[in-house]
Amino acid sequence: MKKMERGGLSKFLLSSLLLLIVASCSVKEESKKEEEESKGLVSPAPFFSADSCYFYIQQQLSFGPRVPNTPPHDSCGDFLIAHMKNVAHNVRVQKAQVNAYDGKKLNIRNIIGEFFPDKQIRILLCAHWDTRHVADSDTSGKDKPIPGASDGASGVAVLMEIARQMKIVPPPVGVDIILFDAEDYGNPGESLY
């Protein structure tokens, strides 16, 4: 992996870990801790495996660019659904056909993993799993799709590892993970910023 992608992944991993730690065991005062323990809101922080995370990135990249309406996209989507079914309490797949800026009809799937659905207090974690259909910001190959290691696969890999760890060490809150599709299929050259 390129140095820049590893750095971006490291920052994202750190941010995600901090979010999970804050959600699961942020206690400042002893009395508050006792109160939360009595309500079942304190649990140990799980181990986070960077090796597993890199493996999940590698798995996604092995399918090829995950552009909607392509075999790599379909195969990766099936892989992500299978992973979520292995670790989540409930998995929903939102299938849809959407219109792209270029008139193409895109067959998409948002993948939703629901963890501890009986818990009232919940947090939401999201990433997108598709990749850009053109490398319009590249200096060469602007008309080719991108592999999407840092934009797409890294965020999904972090959530896959968090999901795996939640099966081992249940958090004190409910968690919903959404892997969005078709996030990267925008008009080349247009910016929302």
Q: pLDDT digit of tens for each residue in the chain (193 aa)?
A: 444 455 565 666 566 655 555 555 544 445 555 565 555 556 666 788 999 999 999 999 999 999 999 999 999 999 999 999 999 999 999 999 999 989 999 999 999 999 999 999 999 999 999 999 998 888 888 889 989 999 899 999 999 999 999 999 899 999 999 999 999 998 886 654 4
Per-residue model confidence (pLDDT) at position 74: 98
Per-residue model confidence (pLDDT) at position 1: 45
**Distance (Å, rounded) from C-alpha 60 to C-alpha 63?**
6
Helix or strand run (H / E) with residue 178: strand 174-180
Per-residue model confidence (pLDDT) at position 4: 47
Per-residue model confidence (pLDDT) at position 26: 46
Rg of the Cα trace of the chain?
18
Strands (E), 8-146: 90-99, 105-115, 122-128
Supply the pTM of this predicted model.
0.76
Per-residue model confidence (pLDDT) at position 193: 45
Closest CA to 48 of 155, 172, 163: 163
**Distance (Å, rounded) from C-alpha 131 to C-alpha 63?**
11
